[in-house]
Structure 1
């Protein structure tokens, strides 16, 4: 999930959390866990931050892993969160109090079996709360709207919920009863909602509420909106609020989906232009003749002196091939001059024809047959079979090209894929 100003709400957080837990245990081993029992939390905080900072810098590949879609690494995100503790000493004091309470109950628990896991959990709880505090503050700075850590948690819950609803819709056969409970009707065929649900903005608030209600029946655990916890009390009976939050998530996901691709494309173009510029200058200097510049006598080029040749026949079909092509056309029940007339009738300056110039005429006709159907107002009359008034069938086109039907299908599909690729590239250039 991405929201304005946030950095810790994406899937990379799991790696950041593990890295913080691992390095926190290293710091405690270096300082001694008893440091957390220091009556002066400020002093123990300074020692902890220094020790964790050294551990993070030495973490290697784990710290270099991508932490979010904005380009921050796990190490950078973890270090920023550790330094944030200086600005929020109350969170550190809460951790120390929790460790002290556990120590008063069972003694030096960190040295007992499973003690490291318990100590790691204390740090995980610390940073789980801290990340929502940091992101909620940054969200307020970016949007100018109030946002509490609990609201940030609610955003994350709704993002998880709509993805879970989408997963159930996709596997509606295996989860027909639960999908029916979410949609409020019996499901006997693929629901249209499964195709319509593409972003969080497409998810209806009623689906989230019914999904939460259905969890206790289908999983045995109460859904987030139906627990005794008051964390989501403001959402339980507020579909309008749920819908607004889902739309906000979807709108920002769409807005930030390009991830500076246009800017990066421009930067690459500028870099390539400069590389070409310096290459041309270098080649010009290396190819220059020594000595002063001289004006040489103009000499007539061989091409200028050559006698003009006879105009080349621009017909697409060579004359000597006419007889063979006529025989091939008759074998597939087409007029003898079909290929000649069809080639003459093609607009060879069109966008599609220029992109398929390397393909044979039957392959190009097969492409039009697949994309536009057997008849279209744009087809020249020369392309149509006089007997049917439509394009020749795939079997006829394969015979015209002298290839098997599977081979023609393969070449046709390759040409269609090439057209789609070229269209996509030109669309990107137009919007760049």
Structure 2
């Protein structure tokens, strides 16, 4: 394989230069002729950074060595025969984005124009950045919508018209709770104390779901839920916070409810340290608010933290949120491609894994490790499923499963 690549590279560069030379009316510069015959020393690879593994199609790795080039156009980096995308180069260092080649052992070699031989090889593991969590089969009635995860990495999934599906870490699937008449699905599910799930469904109330039982009403209008709620999250004091239209509700487990006004409809809500982050639609804008806690069950004045409509996209909205341990917000949106925006703590933002996710987000939840999971809406080429995203870092503390 290496000999074939060597011959191809040498032939490719030589033919290209011959075309250039023959196309000139005047005699060619002797320096051009010298490029046809190999004149550079063989490139040598010394180390890779990171040294062991990277995310396929995502990570930019550093190749350290000798006899490279200042001109990236004169360098080809192969990963098991597939070209990487070179970002920059010097005679001793190459930065290259790895291609989508997934394998435990990927051979990395470098070819440089003017060198007769390709480099020695180094190896690296390339892992998938995005993969399907579970092979859901719609023909078997497995149609995932919202979901949550407990501290043992069991998934609890709102399965269309089938109640709550539980999937264990070993892949065993079973019914956690039967469906309730009139409820085809939940739009959000939150894992709570004592293995009780809390769910919303665009009604003036919150449901409780326990193992083997149909969903039952936990709090409703009579308790003070005066408008439809669509999202929930627990704080460190085991208060459940729910977002509605123009209000955020604090719900204690004794069913005491208190409302706090916000300017807009809350579409997603997350607790992080001493704040609630709420994605709201306000005056036709998609905005993330940051609201401080005051004491154990009260809120301060909301402040605008990020204007998604102004800075990212005017045509889509935020439908779900997750937060990493280091405080970065992951905004799941209704965009049909590249639907996750990462909002960093310094105010900058970027698209998560461009080109790797091609459907809008329905729900998001961080697992107990370094994986963020998202359920996606179906497309003409992809049925509803849950993706597993390797983010190489853990999520923020989730108080509902502590």
* TM-score bucket of the superposed structures, by smaller chain: under 0.3
When normalised by structure 1's length, the TM-score is 0.21
Greater Rg over alpha carbons, structure = 1
Which structure shows the higher strand fraction?
2
Which structure shows the higher helix fraction?
1
